[in-house]
Amino acid sequence: MNVVSAPEEIEPRARAVAIGSFDGVHRGHRSVLDATRGTGLASTVVTFDPHPRIALGNRVDLLTTLERRLEVIEQAGIETALVAPFTSELQQMTPEAFAERYLREIGTEVV
C-alpha cells in the first residue's frame, strides 16, 4: 500500500475514497473498505494523525496505533492511504475546501 501525507503525493486518477479515523478497524470499517474496493476504482483511504479528538484536546484511549490501523487497512486491500496531518489549518477548513484539497485533487469519483 502506498502511504502518503499530502494529496500532492498521490497521482490524480479515478478513485473511490473512504474517509475516517478508522480506530480499531471494526466490521463496519471493513464493510466501508470492501465497498471502496468493489467499485473498480483506485481504492483510497483518507485518515488523520493525530486522531482529531486528541488534536482537539480530548482524552481518548485509542484501540490501535496509526501503524496498526495502516496494516489492517492494507490487509483489506486498499491501494493508497493518505494520512492527513490533523493541524489547526485542517480543523479550520470549510467542507468545500477539504473536498477540493483532499478529494478533488486526487481524482475522487466516489466517497
Q: pLDDT 10s digit of each residue in the chain, 111 long?
A: 999 999 999 999 999 999 988 887 777 777 788 888 888 999 999 999 987 776 767 788 878 889 999 999 999 999 999 999 998 899 999 999 999 999 999 999 999
Q: What is the span of the domain harbouring residue 86?
A: 2-110
**In sequence order, what E strands does the chain have?**
2-4, 15-19, 42-49, 80-85, 108-110
Task: Indicate the pairing of strand 2-4 with strand 80-85.
Answer: parallel
What is the structure's pLDDT at 22? 83
| Omega before residue 12 within 30° of 0, cis | no
* Cell representation of residue 99: 473536498
For residue 97, the domain's CATH number is 3.40.50.620
Q: Which residues pair with 85 in a beta bridge?
A: 49
- Number of domain units in the chain: 1
What is the structure's pLDDT at 43? 95
How far apart CA 6 and CA 82 sit, in angstroms, is: 7
What is the structure's pLDDT at 7? 97
